[in-house]
């Protein structure tokens, strides 16, 4: 038997403490990774655990449960700061993938080109993890993803939800994805931006091992004076920390340049 | 209570409903739902194209929502409602959506159709009257490689509207006659025919571009691994361990020998065993030791490397050459010359059906192979040679083919299946994984081309010089054909008084380059057509007028010195575009002027083609057999493989017309290589022309036989009624009762068999001669916009005029045009197969439903002297003009010249920068 499907969170956490598992959510990363390769570990399917699915307002802000799908995001009633996340949700793979794939799985898979990461970075999202031994903890998303396919999740931990603090859920946001075809495309680059009163957040994906916030640009944008255009403010030096690679999708130099263009367009979309 | 806590001891199955029926599945709960549906529940309408969510062929509904069954664990459908394509038509009666797919020609090969239908069903359950955008969003997750998507969009938007009045006989746009099983999901493809107890075969392939290997104790491994039955290596091959589509060049081992594999993905050994045991076996545990060797991955490296094949120094497989007059002198004296260098990539066929099949030992002791193929009789010869038996000791039964485009002419699974059956005596099956299919089968040749063209002061072309290296990969396959076809075609359909075209097919350690829709001509057309635009500009002549001025006309000599008294259609195709061309150019210029500050620039581009139908200066016969059965049925043995393009329908229409019966009165019979004669391979755009002509001859012969038997005149009308053949002649009526007539050894009371071989003549040392009995022609116009800041290209509209001589079935013609254009779009903008890096359908991109713009097809009919009822081939022509038209439109919009294909955003942006000059 290669799969276990607990219907209780504590049971799931006990199982996780017991041995190594592949955690199964929507399966849209796990199954493709095993096309010619057997599973190294049994599968722990968490989609039957009650309470893990759902997007809701809590006392501490917004909560996206671990088994919430991209379709759940699209259908949720969320404030305009989440427009970038909703736009990203519509661009993840295809309807079939959006119906199955989970937001949390996108984070745990930790692909440099994960469409979900920049829109959550600009919301200052935190990841909540639980284990039977140590209880629960929260990690900022930018610390949670540590590298290509590498996260801070320990083998006995389960991501239970993603939290967005109210303080970061203000203003408006946008998402620009650049790919070589219309659907089912891995991004060449993508940018999420959020502007609120006195706040600015910009994150770029697929241009470094882990998607990055552009701190210096955000500072400039947050202090923006009326009359200053985004074209004036968004400078190439703001993208100096990106470390894109040459691959089959695009050259590194192109990626950096496109990141600036997409950033500008994302900001202009909010500004318009 | 959780499922599966009793490790290794399955207490109960997973209960759910499929198509409203409760079921309990006992497969391991981690099993992909697609596998459970197909293998445990026998619902083979759900297709598997990639197992990775990249193609959407396995789309099913779970509680009404579309998901990929290949990424859904069986356990996850516990207590849920699953709907598959079988649930759309209980009792086999088409629902409105399926009817619309059939009527609109939305299904070609049919392999993506179930996925498309399910995705559309999910949409239509929430939106009654969807917009095109909604259809695209809903179907964006299902790839189709045949149709170009436009008929699918129309079908979903027109559900419930019946299409009537399509006419009769030749020229009738009837729905494909093999279409009902395709929209029902009941058509049987390569992986749909295996008996439940068939053993599985898996192939072990080289992990390196060039590898030394030594095989360890495989027999010990088999014995130590429960469920495995046998291992196969080169030593198990009873005949010649060698195959190739062109016998004098046959060079590819079924299983590599002499301890060296020449490309990544080359087969070295195979395992046979019980499905459950083998499917999840980690093949890296098989005792084979690999040594990575230095490969030659480019033609430059290969030309100085040790030959891959001893008899081919410099790694040169073949050279092709066509020359007329003194082109160097003509170019020197030309008023205008343009010259440039172009490169293209490996292109993967990307059919959604991976190679698959089943073989078994027949009661008569012969091996029968059921597999997807474009060439059953070539398969039979190849397998017989490998097995060391006479051809008639092998039986090939073609299954439905889920797309081919040239790659399924070469054998793939067939020899391995034969060996497995020979060794085990049991039925054996195989289905390539997507990466395996991409790694191991053929590709379009990467080209490296240097071209110069000249014109005089009047804008008449003076000469063209073409030098091209084609990377033919590790083995010959169709490399010789590409090298020979390109020099014949590199002039394009234009009068070119002086000419020299030289090609070299060079072996590398890349994947085997073979046949892919156009055999090298699409690459050459990119060079010629983009240079034509620049030459027209240099001459100060409108780009379409320049082509008209130089277009071949009846009686002109081609670059091989051939003349056609009638039937040259390029002029008519260009004329058909003329009004649209001027309208589109004016509109683009006006838009650009009004939107000067926008990063978007609009542009319009032209591309044209000609393409010789059939083999190049080689015999190329098709044979068609037909007859009347004792019960009065008229049976057509149709051996021209339908890989989605529609030969089942077209050949039947032609035969019926010649015989004088309605198409619906003819029974289509595919049969196998024992009973259905060789109609040649489905390639070279030859089936409508060559097999069609054979079918016409067969129809006429059967007609004559019936009329003579009834002693009626040639004007008599034939009809069928109650098992009798009724002949009406000048008011008199004769009725033949087949039941009263003697039956021949094949079960027919009347039987005809006719062969047609198109007349060609060999090419001399300068490539002069008559390579083809027929060419087809086409011209396409692309309207697009380019984002000058990102280098992205968005196609807006394509207009395509193709001369098909006579459209036997206009709906199928339109389907070919749109599908070919979609592949041309992919080649132009996104397709770049990099061995070892893009062996899946998310790193290797083919166009999705959102990447193909609206297409208007203009069918031009300039009758051909040879073709049946004047018909010409079409299948390959349609792809050729698209890529150059796109590149020309990009240049029209921005000035950018893209020389390396595909024109990805980074390349387009670089080219824009070059065109803009130093900032």
Instruction: Report the residue from A43, A93, A180 with minimal CB separation from B73.
Output: A43
Instruction: Report the residue from B59, B75, B433 with minimal CB separation from A96.
Output: B59
Judge whether B170 and B430 are in contact, CB under 8 Å. no
CB-based contact A182 B849, cutoff 8 Å = yes
What confidence tier does B8 reach under pLDDT thresholds 50, 70, 90?
Answer: very low
Q: CA-CA distance, B657 to B662, in Å (whole number)?
A: 7
Radius of gyration of chain A (CA): 19
Tokens of B797: 């509209």
Q: Which chain B residues are within 8 Å of A252, Cβ to Cβ?
A: none
Burial of B847 (0-12, 13-18, 19+ CB in 10 A): buried
Mean pLDDT confidence for B140-160: 97
* Among chain B residues, CA nearest to A252: B906
Q: Which chain B residues are within 8 Å of A1, Cβ to Cβ?
A: 4, 6-10, 28-29
pLDDT at B917: 85
Q: CA-CA distance, A46 to A12, in Å (whole number)?
A: 7
CB-based contact B904 A24, cutoff 8 Å = no
Nearest Cα to Cα of residue B325 among B755, B776, B767: B767
Please give the DSSP secondary-structure letter assigned to residue B445: P
pLDDT at B1: 37
- Strand-pair partners of B25: B14
pLDDT at B833: 98
Q: What are phi and psi of B810, to 5 degrees?
A: -55, -30
Judge whether B622 and B690 are in contact, CB under 8 Å. yes
The b/e string for B625-654 (b: 16+ C-beta within 10 A; e otherwise) is bbbbbbebebbbbbbbbbbbbbbbbbbbbb
What confidence tier does B919 reach under pLDDT thresholds 50, 70, 90?
Answer: low
Judge whether B47 and B186 are in contact, CB under 8 Å. no
Nearest Cα to Cα of residue B282 among A21, A3, A34, A19: A34
What's the CA angle centered on B843, arms B605 and A40, to 5 degrees?
Answer: 170
pLDDT, tens only, B831-847: 999 999 999 999 999 99
Q: What are phi and psi of A10, to 5 degrees?
A: -65, -40
* Nearest-neighbour CA in chain B from A166: distance (Å): 32
* Among chain B residues, CA nearest to A27: B71
What angle in degrees, to the nearest 10, is found between the helix axes of B132-139 and B150-157?
120
Mean pLDDT confidence for B373-396: 98
Percent of chain B scoring above 70 in pLDDT: 98
Instruction: Decide if B281 touches A, using CB distance below 8 A.
Output: yes
Consecutive 10-residue runs of chain A (272 residues): their mean pLDDT?
92 96 98 94 97 96 98 98 98 97 98 97 98 97 98 98 97 97 95 96 97 98 92 96 93 96 97 72
Taking CA atoms, A1 is separated from A47, A77, B11, B26, B206, in Å, by 18, 40, 10, 11, 32
pLDDT at B163: 74
Q: CA-CA distance, B805 to B867, in Å (whole number)?
A: 8
pLDDT, tens only, B352-369: 999 999 999 999 999 999
Q: CA-CA distance, B374 to B643, in Å (whole number)?
A: 7
Residue-averaged pLDDT of chain A: 96
Please give the DSSP secondary-structure letter assigned to residue B760: -
The answer to whether the Cα torsion of B575, B577, B581, B582 is positive or negative is: positive
pLDDT, tens only, B434-467: 999 999 999 999 999 999 999 999 999 999 999 9
Mean pLDDT confidence for B687-700: 98
What confidence tier does B7 reach under pLDDT thresholds 50, 70, 90?
Answer: very low
* Nearest-neighbour CA in chain B from A247: distance (Å): 9
Mean pLDDT confidence for B661-682: 96
Burial of B713 (0-12, 13-18, 19+ CB in 10 A): exposed
CB-based contacts of A214, cutoff 8 Å, min separation 6: A202, A203, A204, A238, A239, A241, A263
pLDDT, tens only, B575-593: 999 999 999 999 999 999 9
Report pTM.
0.97
Q: CA-CA distance, B902 to B882, in Å (whole number)?
A: 12
Total Cβ atoms within 10 A of residue B728: 16
pLDDT at A155: 95
Nearest Cα to Cα of residue B838 among B449, B521, B477, B511: B511
Mean pLDDT confidence for B899-914: 97
Nearest Cα to Cα of residue B466 among B456, B478, B454: B454
pLDDT, tens only, A130-158: 999 999 999 999 999 999 999 999 999 99
Q: Which chain A residues are within 8 Å of B137, Cβ to Cβ?
A: 90, 95
Which residue is it, tokens 């001027």?
B582
Cis amide linkage into residue A209, ω under 30° from 0:
no
pLDDT at A271: 84
Q: Which helix (H) or strand (E) holds B480?
A: helix B479-489
* Among chain A residues, CA nearest to B140: A183
Q: CA-CA distance, A89 to A204, in Å (whole number)?
A: 16
Nearest Cα to Cα of residue B526 among B588, B449, B471, B457: B449
What confidence tier does B731 reach under pLDDT thresholds 50, 70, 90?
Answer: confident
Percent of chain B scoring above 90 in pLDDT: 96
How many residues in total does chain B contain? 919
pLDDT, tens only, B100-116: 999 999 999 999 999 99
Which residue is it, tokens 């998607």?
A211
pLDDT greater than 90 at residue B415: yes
SS3 B24: strand
By DSSP bridging, strand B14-18 and strand B81-83 are: parallel
Instruction: Decide if B492 touches A, using CB distance below 8 A.
Output: no
CB-based contacts of A228, cutoff 8 Å, min separation 6: none
Which 175-234 residues of chain B touch chain A by CB within 8 A?
A: none
Instruction: Decide if B354 touches A, using CB distance below 8 A.
Output: no
Q: Which chain A residues are within 8 Å of B432, Cβ to Cβ?
A: none
Mean pLDDT confidence for B381-410: 98
Instruction: Report the residue from B78, B136, B790 with minimal CB separation from A261.
Output: B790
Please give the sequence-ordered ranges of beta strands (E in DSSP) within chain A, or none if there are none. Answer: 3-4, 22-24, 43-45, 55-58, 61-65, 126-131, 135-140, 145-147, 150-151, 158-165, 172-178, 189-196, 199-205, 212-213
Judge whether B612 and B493 are in contact, CB under 8 Å. no
- Strand-pair partners of B606: B781
CB-based contacts of B146, cutoff 8 Å, min separation 6: B108, B109, B112, B403, B644, B645, B815, B819
Q: Which helix (H) or strand (E) holds B855?
A: strand B854-860
Q: Which helix (H) or strand (E) holds B417?
A: helix B413-424
A interface test, pick of B75, B346, B836 with most A CB neighbours within 10 Å: B75
Q: Which chain A residues are within 8 Å of B843, Cβ to Cβ?
A: 186, 248
Please give the DSSP secondary-structure letter assigned to residue B3: B
pLDDT greater than 90 at residue B4: no
Query: Pseudo-torsion of CA A26, A32, A33, A35, nearest 10°?
Result: 140
Instruction: Decide if B79 touches A, using CB distance below 8 A.
Output: no
Instruction: Report the residue from B7, B141, B434 with minimal CB separation from A97.
Output: B141
Residue-averaged pLDDT of chain B: 96
CB-based contacts of B380, cutoff 8 Å, min separation 6: B391, B394, B395, B396, B673
Taking CA atoms, B149 is separated from B121, B814, B816, in Å, by 16, 12, 11
pLDDT at B165: 64
- A126-131 β-sheet, strand order: A55-58, A61-65, A158-165, A126-131, A135-140
Judge whether B877 and B856 are in contact, CB under 8 Å. no
Please give the DSSP secondary-structure letter assigned to residue B146: S
Count of pairs with CB atoms under 8 A, one residue in A, one in B? 180
Tokens of B691: 């097999």
Q: Which domains does chain A have, with CATH numbers?
A: 3-42+53-167 (3.30.465.10), 171-271 (3.30.390.50)
Q: CA-CA distance, B696 to B716, in Å (whole number)?
A: 18
CB-based contacts of B885, cutoff 8 Å, min separation 6: B529, B605, B606, B607, B780, B781, B782, B798
Mean pLDDT confidence for B76-83: 98
pLDDT at B168: 81
As for the ipTM of the complex, it is 0.98
Instruction: Decide if B65 touches A, using CB distance below 8 A.
Output: yes
Q: Which domains does chain B have, with CATH numbers?
A: 1-173 (3.10.20.30), 199-295+353-402+407-440 (3.30.365.10), 534-615+767-916 (3.30.365.10), 622-756 (3.30.365.10)
């Amino acid at each position: 038997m290669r799969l276990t499907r607990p219907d209780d969170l504590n049971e799931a956490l006990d199982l996780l403490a017991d041995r190594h598992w592949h955690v199964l959510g929507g399966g849209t990363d796990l199954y493709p990774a095993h096309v010619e390769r057997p599973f190294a570990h049994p599968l722990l399917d968490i989609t039957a655990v009650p309470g893990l699915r759902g997007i809701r307002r809590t006392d501490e802000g917004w909560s996206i449960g671990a088994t919430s799908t991209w379709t759940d995001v699209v259908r949720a009633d969320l404030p305009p700061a989440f427009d970038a996340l909703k736009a990203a949700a519509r661009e993840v793979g295809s309807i079939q993938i959006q119906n199955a794939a989970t937001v949390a799985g996108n984070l745990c898979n930790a692909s440099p080109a994960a469409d979900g990461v920049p829109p959550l970075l600009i919301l200052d999202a935190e990841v909540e993890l639980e284990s039977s031994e140590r209880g629960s903890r929260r990690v900022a998303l930018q610390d949670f993803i540590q590298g290509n396919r590498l996260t801070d999740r320990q083998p006995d931990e389960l991501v239970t939800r993603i939290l967005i603090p109210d303080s970061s859920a203000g203003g408006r946001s946008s998402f620009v994805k650049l790919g070589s075809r219309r659907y089912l495309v891995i991004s060449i680059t993508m940018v999420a931006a959020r502007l609120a009163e006195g706040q600015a957040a910009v994150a770029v994906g697929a241009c470094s091992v882990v998607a990055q916030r552009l701190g210096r640009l955000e500072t400039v944008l947050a202090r923006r004076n009326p009359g200053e255009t985004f074209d004036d403010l968004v400078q190439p030096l703001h993208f100096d920390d990106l470390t894109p690679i040459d691959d089959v999708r695009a050259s590194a130099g192109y990626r950096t340049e496109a990141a600036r263009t997409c950033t500008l367009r994302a900001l202009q979309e909010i500004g318009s | 209570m959780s499922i599966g806590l009793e490790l290794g001891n399955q207490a109960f199955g997973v209960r759910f409903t499929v198509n409203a029926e409760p079921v309990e599945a006992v497969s391991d709960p981690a099993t992909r739902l697609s596998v459970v549906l197909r293998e445990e529940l026998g619902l083979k309408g759900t297709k598997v194209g990639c197992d990775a969510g990249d193609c959407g062929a396995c789309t099913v509904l779970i509680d009404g929502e579309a998901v990929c069954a290949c990424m859904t664990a069986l356990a996850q459908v516990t207590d849920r409602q699953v709907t598959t394509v079988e649930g759309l038509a209980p009792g086999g009666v088409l629902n409105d959506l399926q009817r619309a797919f059939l009527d609109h020609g939305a299904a070609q090969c049919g392999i993506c159709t179930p996925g498309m239908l399910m995705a559309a069903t999910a949409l239509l359950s929430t939106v009654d009257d969807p917009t095109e955008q909604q259809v695209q969003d809903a179907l964006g997750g299902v790839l189709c490689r045949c149709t170009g998507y436009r008929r699918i969009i129309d079908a979903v938007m027109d559900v419930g509207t019946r299409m009537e009045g399509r006419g009769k006989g030749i020229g009738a746009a009837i729905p494909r006659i093999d279409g009902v099983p395709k929209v029902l999901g009941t058509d049987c493809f390569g992986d749909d025919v295996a008996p439940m107890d068939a053993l599985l075969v898996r192939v072990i392939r080289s992990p390196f571009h060039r590898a030394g290997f030594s095989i360890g104790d495989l027999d010990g491994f088999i014995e130590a691994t429960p469920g495995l039955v046998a291992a196969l290596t080169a030593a198990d091959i009873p005949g010649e361990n060698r195959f190739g589509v062109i016998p004098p060049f046959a060079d590819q081992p079924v299983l590599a020998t002499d301890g060296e594999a020449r490309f990544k993905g080359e087969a070295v050994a195979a395992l046979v065993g019980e499905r459950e045991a083998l499917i999840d076996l980690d093949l890296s545990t098989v005792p084979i030791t690999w040594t990575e060797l230095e490969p030659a991955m480019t033609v430059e490296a290969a030309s100085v490397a040790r030959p891959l094949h001893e008899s081919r120094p410099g790694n040169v497989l073949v050279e092709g050459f066509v020359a007329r007059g003194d082109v160097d002198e003509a170019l020197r004296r030309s008023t205008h010359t343009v010259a440039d260098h172009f490169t293209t990539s490996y292109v993967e066929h990307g059919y959604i059906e991976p190679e698959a099949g089943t073989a078994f030992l027949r009661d008569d002791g012969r091996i029968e192979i059921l597999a997807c193929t474009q060439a059953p009789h070539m398969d039979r010869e190849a397998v017989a040679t490998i097995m060391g038996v006479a051809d008639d000791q092998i039986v090939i039964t073609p299954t439905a083919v889920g797309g081919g485009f040239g790659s399924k002419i070469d054998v793939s699974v067939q020899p391995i299946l034969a060996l497995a059956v020979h060794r085990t005596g049991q039925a054996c099956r195989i289905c390539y994984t997507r990466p395996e299919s991409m790694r191991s089968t053929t590709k379009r040749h990467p080209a490296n081309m240097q071209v110069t063209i000249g014109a005089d002061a009047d804008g008449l072309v003076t000469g063209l010089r073409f030098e091209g290296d084609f990377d033919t990969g590790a083995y010959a396959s169709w490399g010789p054909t590409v090298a020979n076809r390109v020099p014949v075609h590199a002039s394009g359909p234009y009068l070119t008084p002086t000419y020299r075209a030289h090609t070299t097919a060079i072996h590398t350690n890349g994947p085997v380059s073979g046949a892919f829709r156009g055999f090298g001509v699409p690459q050459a057309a990119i060079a010629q057509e983009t240079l034509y635009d620049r030459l027209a500009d240099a001459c100060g002549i409108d780009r379409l007028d320049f082509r008209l001025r130089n277009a071949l006309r009846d009686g002109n000599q081609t670059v091989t010195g051939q003349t056609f008294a009638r039937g040259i259609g390029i002029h008519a195709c260009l004329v058909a575009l003329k009004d649209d061309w001027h309208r589109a150019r004016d509109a683009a210029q006006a838009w650009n002027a009004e939107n000067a500050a926008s990063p978007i620039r609009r542009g319009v581009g032209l591309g044209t083609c000609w393409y010789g139908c059939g083999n190049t200066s080689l015999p190329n016969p098709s044979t068609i057999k037909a007859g009347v059965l004792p019960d009065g049925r008229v049976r057509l043995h149709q051996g021209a493989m339908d890989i989605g393009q529609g030969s089942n329908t077209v050949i039947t229409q032609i035969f019926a017309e010649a015989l004088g019966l309605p198409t619906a009165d003819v029974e289509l019979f595919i049969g196998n290589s024992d009973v259905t004669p060789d109609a040649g391979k489905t390639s070279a755009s030859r089936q409508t022309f060559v097999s069609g002509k054979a079918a016409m001859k067969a129809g006429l012969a059967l007609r004559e036989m019936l009329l003579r038997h009834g002693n009626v005149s040639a004007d008599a009308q034939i009809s069928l009624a109650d098992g009798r053949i009724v002949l009406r002649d000048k008011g008199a009526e004769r009725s033949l009762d087949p039941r009263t007539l003697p039956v021949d050894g094949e079960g027919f009371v009347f039987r005809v068999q006719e062969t047609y071989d198109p007349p060609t003549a060999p090419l001399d040392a300068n490539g002069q001669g008559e390579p083809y009995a027929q060419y087809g022609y086409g011209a396409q116009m692309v309207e697009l916009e380019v984002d000058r800041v990102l280098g992205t290209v968005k196609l807006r509209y394509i207009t395509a005029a193709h001369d098909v001589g006579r459209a036997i079935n206009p709906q199928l013609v339109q389907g070919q045009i749109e599908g070919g254009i979609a592949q041309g779009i992919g080649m132009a903008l996104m397709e770049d197969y990099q061995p070892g890096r893009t062996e899946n359908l998310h790193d290797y991109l083919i166009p999705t439903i959102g990447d193909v713009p609206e297409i208007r097809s203009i069918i031009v009919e300039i009758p051909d002297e040879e073709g049946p009822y004047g018909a010409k081939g079409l299948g390959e022509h349609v792809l050729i003009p698209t890529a150059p038209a796109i590149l020309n439109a990009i240049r029209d919009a921005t000035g950018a010249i893209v020389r390396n294909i595909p024109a990805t955003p980074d390349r387009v942006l670089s080219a824009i920068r070059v065109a803009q000059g130093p900032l």
